[in-house]
Amino acid sequence: MITKTVNSIQEALEGVSDGMTLLLGGFGLCGIPENAISELVRLGVKDLTCISNNAGVDDFGLGLLLQNRQIKKMVASYVGENDEFERQMLSGELEVELIPQGTLAERCRAAQAGFPAFYTPAGFGTEVAEGKETRAFDGKMYVLEQAVKADFSIVKAWKGDTSGNLIFKGTARNFNPNMCGAANITIAEVEELVPAGELDPNQIHIPGIFVQRIVQGSNYEKRIEQRTTRPQP
């Protein structure tokens, strides 16, 4: 049985260096690889291109890398909860590429499946389509979007086994599964790591073939991005 377990988050991130392109899973603050992000901050790698649904908040998630000026370019679909991101973007310190959310997810899935590009109607007639090939199918216009290209994909799963099979929970399934196998090396940090064979095969969302390294995570803060409560009666 192939074992893909590494002993620490430091070992998991071995090879990550300045100027690389990283895919980072998560949706808002749900299902983000907290341990890996903290280690990237500690390592101090810089000039990174980070591809993620969003850029965290000012003092958590990818916001920590932004505060530390480690990100050169941010590719995302939503950035509304991060004041530092806004400041760096408006001042020209940070290069930003905004992509429709479904297109970003599909660009990751295309890379995972080995497709170089695909056509989508999203963004046609807007700035999103500028400089891109367009084509009509059955009377409707589509934009050609290319699969993402990344050095490392760093994801967070609820459970995983030593062979790299993964189970995600709730909203964490929005981007994490599509990013598995969409880079040269996929690293998965998990809340619970079990021996191979313990996971129900019918519950596995991503098979281990898409994962090169898996590590047991710890001390997850799991912040809520926006808490909405009902007044007490």
- Angstrom distance (rounded) from CA 150 to CA 194: 28
The separation between CA 24 and the C-alpha centre of its own chain, rounded to angstroms, equals 3
Q: Which is more confidently placed, 82 or 217?
A: 217
Both tokens of 32, joined, read 């983000």
Domain count for the chain, please give it.
1
CATH of residue 163's domain is: 3.40.1080.10
Instruction: Determine the pLDDT at residue 82.
Output: 85
- Angstrom distance (rounded) from CA 159 to CA 216: 9
pLDDT digits (tens, 9 = 90+) for 77-120: 987 778 899 899 999 999 999 999 999 999 999 999 999 999 99
Is 122 a domain residue? no
Is 120 a domain residue? no
Residue 64: pLDDT band by 50, 70, 90 thresholds? very high
pLDDT digits (tens, 9 = 90+) for 49-59: 999 999 989 88
Q: DSSP 3-state assignment of 213?
A: strand
Q: How many CB atoms lie within 10 A of CB 95?
A: 13
Is 141 a domain residue? no
Is 163 a domain residue? yes
Instruction: Determine the pLDDT at residue 143.
Output: 98
- Angstrom distance (rounded) from CA 27 to CA 21: 19
pLDDT at 147 over 90: yes
Is 48 a domain residue? yes
Q: Phi, psi at residue 22, to the nearest 5°?
A: -120, 135
Element (H, E) at 12: helix 9-12
pTM for this model (two decimals): 0.93
Reduce the secondary structure of 89-123 to three states and give it as a string.
HHHCCCEEEECCHHHHHHHHHHHHHCCCEEEECCC
Is 153 a domain residue? yes
Is 223 a domain residue? no
Please name the residue that has the structure tokens 């019918």: 202
User: Domain limits at 180?
Assistant: 9-115+148-216
Is 138 a domain residue? no
